[in-house]
Amino acid sequence: MPYLAMACIFASILSFGIGPAGVTGILATELFDQMARPAAYMVCGALMWTMLFLVGLAFPFIMEGLSHFIYVPFLCVCVCTAVYSGFFLPETRGKSFMEISEELHRLNFPGRGRGPAWAGPEVVRSTEL
């Protein structure tokens, strides 16, 4: 039985690493511009490893306290994440970083404009085809 338990733990870790663990890198890429991206990767990575460490430390105590309802905290985290993602994060598919940044600014600071919108590069008539 101990070997089966260890195999299940390794299978869980591998399935997380192959599945949702990759989202953390993509999220930092989509939400931050090129200048802030290295710092965002460091903060996201540090937070992820800190939270995984804390969950690893607290899991035996949570398992002892909740017994058969051990997945209730996981369910709560998943529901809260889905609600936050659905209501507070903008859709990023097919948008440039500038469009995403403008939408985040509009959501965070309603009623305050950012100034004149960037209309794109100026076309020089002598080089236009």
Per-residue pLDDT tens over the stretch 62-117: 889 988 888 888 889 889 988 887 887 777 777 777 787 787 778 777 776 655 55
Q: Are 50 and 102 part of one and the same domain?
A: no
Q: Answer yes or no: is 128 within a domain.
A: no
Residue 97: closest CA among 33, 44, 26: 33
Contacts of 63 (CB under 8 A, 6+ apart): 70
Q: What is the pLDDT of residue 118?
A: 56
Instruction: Please state the domain count of the chain.
Output: 2
For residue 80, what are the CA distances in angstroms to 7, 48, 88, 102, 121? 30, 17, 11, 25, 41
Least confident of 9-13, 16-20, 53-57, 116-120: 116-120
Asked whether 32 and 42 are in contact (CB, 8 A), the reply is no
Residue 126, pLDDT above cutoff 60: no
User: Letter for the amino acid at 63?
Assistant: M
120: confidence class by pLDDT, cuts 50, 70, 90? low
Tell me: do 11 and 37 sit in the same domain: yes
Query: Does 98 lie in the same domain as 56?
Result: no
pLDDT score, position 119: 59
Residue 48 domain flag? yes
Give the separation between CA 93 and CA 85, rounded to whole angstroms: 14
d(CA 105, CA 36): 16
What pTM did the predictor assign? Answer: 0.50
12-43 tens-digit pLDDT: 877 777 776 666 667 777 777 778 888 888 88
Q: What is the pLDDT of residue 24?
A: 63
